[in-house]
A and B are shown apart, each in its own frame.
Chain A
Amino acid sequence: MTSPEIIRPKAKQRPGDRVFSASALISGSLILAILAAVAGFLMLQGIPGMFADPESVSIYTEGENFVEFVVPLIFGTLWAAALALVMALPLAIGIALFISHYAPRRLAQGLGYIIDLLAAVPSVVFGLWGANVLAGAIQPSFVWLEENLGWIPLFAGPVSGTGRTMLTAAIVLAVMILPIITAISREVFLQTPPLYEEAALALGATRWEMIRTVVLPFGRPGVIAGAMLGLGRALGETMAVAMVLSGSGVIVFDLIGSVNPLTIAANVALRFPEAYGINVNVLIATGLILFAITLVVNSIARYIVNRRKDFSGAN
Chain B
Amino acid sequence: MNITRAGSFAAIIAAGALVLSACASGETTDNGSEGETSALSGTLVGAGASSQQSAQEAWVVGFQEANPETTVEYDPIGSGGGRETFIGGGSQFAGSDRAFNDEEIAADNFASCVPGTGIIEIPAYISPIAVIFNLEGIDSLNMDAATIAGIFAGEITNWSDPAIAATNEGVELPDLPITAVHRADDSGTTANFTDYLAVNAPDVWTVGQIETWPTEYGGEAAPQTSGVVDAVTNGTGTIGYADASRAGDLGTVAVAVGGDFVPFSPEAAAAIVDASPRVEGRGPGDLAINLDRASEEVGVYPIVLVSYLIACNEYTEGAPVDLVKAYLSYVISEEGQALAAEAAGSAPISADLRSEAQGFIDAIQ
A residues near B (Cβ < 8 Å) are: 58-59, 61, 131-132, 135-136, 139, 158-164, 242-243, 246-250, 258-259, 262, 269-271, 273-277
Complex CA distance for A270 and B220, rounded to whole angstroms: 15
| A164 x B222 contact (CB < 8 A) | yes
B251 contacts chain A at the CB level, 8 A cutoff: no
Contact of A164 (CB < 8 Å), options: B211, B215, B220: B220
Given A158-B177, A162-B179: A136 touches B234 (CB 8 Å cut-off): yes
Q: What 1/0 mask marks residues of chain B from 199 to 218 whose CB sits below 8 Å from any chain A CB? A: 00000000000011111001
Name the residue of chain B whose CB is nearest to the CB of A279: B80
- Of all chain B residues, which has the CB nearest A280? B81
Q: Across the interface, which residues of B come within 8 angstroms of A58, CB to CB?
A: 80, 211
Stretch at the interface among B62-70, B137-145, B235-243: B235-243
The interface-forming segment of B108-116, B165-173, B181-189, B322-330 is B181-189
Please tell me if the beta carbons of A271 and B215 are within 8 angstroms of each other in the complex: no
Interface centre among A159, A163, A276 (most CB of B within 10 A): A276
Is B230 in the interface zone, CB < 8 Å from A?
yes
Q: Give the total of B residues in contact with A, Cβ under 8 Å.
A: 35
- Is there contact, CB below 8 Å, between A136 and B186? no
A258, B219: Cβ atoms under 8 Å?
yes
Q: Which of A164, A248, A274, A277 has the most CB of B within 10 A?
A: A274
* Contact across chains for A136 and B235 when beta carbons are under 8 A apart: yes
A248/B213 in contact, CB under 8 A: yes
Whether the Cβ atoms of B185 and A274 lie closer than 8 Å is: yes
Interchain CA distance A160-B177 in the complex, whole Å: 9
Contacts of B223 in A (CB 8 A): 242-243, 269-270
Instruction: Name the residue on B nearest A258 (C-beta).
Output: B220
Top-6 shortest CB links A-B: A161-B179, A162-B235, A276-B81, A274-B78, A276-B80, A246-B220
Residues of A within 8 A of B187 (CB): 274
- When distances are taken between beta carbons in the complex, the residues of chain B under 8 Å from A160 are 179, 220, 235
Q: Determine whether the beta carbon of B238 is less than 8 Å from that of A162.
A: yes
17 additional A-B pairs beyond A59-B212, A274-B211, beta carbons within 8 Å, are A131-B234, A135-B234, A159-B177, A160-B220, A160-B235, A161-B179, A161-B220, A161-B235, A162-B181, A162-B231, A162-B236, A246-B184, A246-B220, A246-B222, A259-B219, A273-B185, A275-B78
**How far is the CB of A106 from the nearest CB of chain B, in Å?**
40
B100 → A minimal CB distance (Å): 15
Q: Which residues of B contact A258 (CB under 8 A)?
A: 179, 218-220
Is A270 touching B235 in the complex (CB atoms < 8 A)? no
Task: Pick the contact of B178: A161, A250, A274, A275 (CB < 8 A).
Answer: A161
Which chain B residues border A59 with CB–CB below 8 Å?
A: 186, 212
B151-181 interface bits toward A, Cβ cutoff 8 Å, 1 = contact, 0 = none = 0000001000000000000000000011101
Q: Are B181 and A248 interface neighbours, CB within 8 A?
A: no
Query: Does B221 count as interface, using CB distance less than 8 angstroms?
Result: yes
A276 to B78, Cβ gap below 8 A?
yes
Residues B227 and A131 in contact, CB atoms below 8 Å apart? yes
Report Cα–Cα, A249/B215, bound state, in Å: 7
> How many Å from the CB of A50 to the closest CB on chain B?
19
User: Any chain A CB within 8 A of the CB of B267?
Assistant: no
B91 contacts the other chain (Cβ, under 8 Å)? no
